[in-house]
Amino acid sequence: MFPFLKKIREKGRPRCAALVAAAGTSSRMGGVDKMMEVLDGVPVLARTLMALQAAQSVDEIIVATREESLVEISRLCRTYGVTKCTKVVRGGETRVHSVFLAAMEASPETKLLAVQDGARPLVTPELIDCVVAAAARCGAAAPAIPVKDTVKVVKDGGAVEATLDRSSLRAVQTPQVFEASVLKAALQSALEEQAPITDDCSAVERLGKVVFLVEGDEENLKITTPTDLLLAEAILQGRENGR
């Protein structure tokens, strides 16, 4: 496409920066760095970054990682052609802190911030674009899937206190996308008050903002344990076989 036509097509689209959280300790992976574990010949983090690279709605990628991984991840971006990655920055003490530090490095003209787990390598460019489009309409959006298992609330010792109605429950995935000013304010508030935040939607919800959910993808799993790697390999094989 001619450059001037591309500019016309994108004129009405808000600039979006993807913030990749990749500073975790991989504590449940048996001592290996899950970001660099290989899935069908490609590192987990590289697959995540390549999906963001291919997403039409993403203009810039910023990765927050551990200090000892800064050079390695910069090299990874060059190796796999992730040209949208403008910065690889040192993460913080917590995930919230890491995302906040990455958010502060986004270009000033950025209107939307998309927070993506580095350990979700099977996310598709189509899902990313879908969530970004939803956030552009309503200000805050995330993908989610119905909960399959019955979920119970338990007391100390394991006694069941309540059984939740799973028809109203959803498991939230990433990317989680927000207006830039809203996410920055939410993360700063959570940090200042040391709030126990498990995802970025929770931080935004604390400010009274409404987050809208869109249909997620069953295959958009997060690599947390060695078993997840085996499942991800099986999913990739299924995709390659055109199932």
pLDDT in tens, 16-55: 999 999 997 666 666 678 999 999 999 999 999 999 999 9
Residue 6 lies in a domain: no
Is residue 31 domain-resident?
A: yes
pLDDT of residue 20: 98
Residue 183 included in any domain: yes
Please report whether residue 243 resides in a domain.
no
pTM listed for this prediction: 0.91
Residue 140 CA to residue 63 CA, distance in Å, equals 21
In contact, 71 and 62? CB cutoff 8 Å: no
* Assigned domain for 5 exists: no
Domain presence at residue 190 = yes
Q: Is residue 3 included in any domain, yes or no?
A: no
What is the number of domains present in the chain?
1
In a domain? residue 8: no
Could you say which residues of the chain have pLDDT below 70?
1-11, 25-31, 243
Beta strands in the chain (DSSP E): 16-22, 38-39, 42-43, 60-65, 85-90, 112-117, 140-146, 152-154, 160-163, 170-172, 176-179, 212-215
Residue 25, pLDDT score: 67
> Are 95 and 52 spatial neighbours (Cβ–Cβ below 8 Å)?
no
pLDDT at position 50? 98
What is the CATH classification number for the domain harbouring 225? 3.90.550.10
**Residue 100 belongs to what domain range?**
14-238
Burial class (CB in 10 A: 0-12, 13-18, 19+), 186: buried
pLDDT at residue 5 in the model: 38
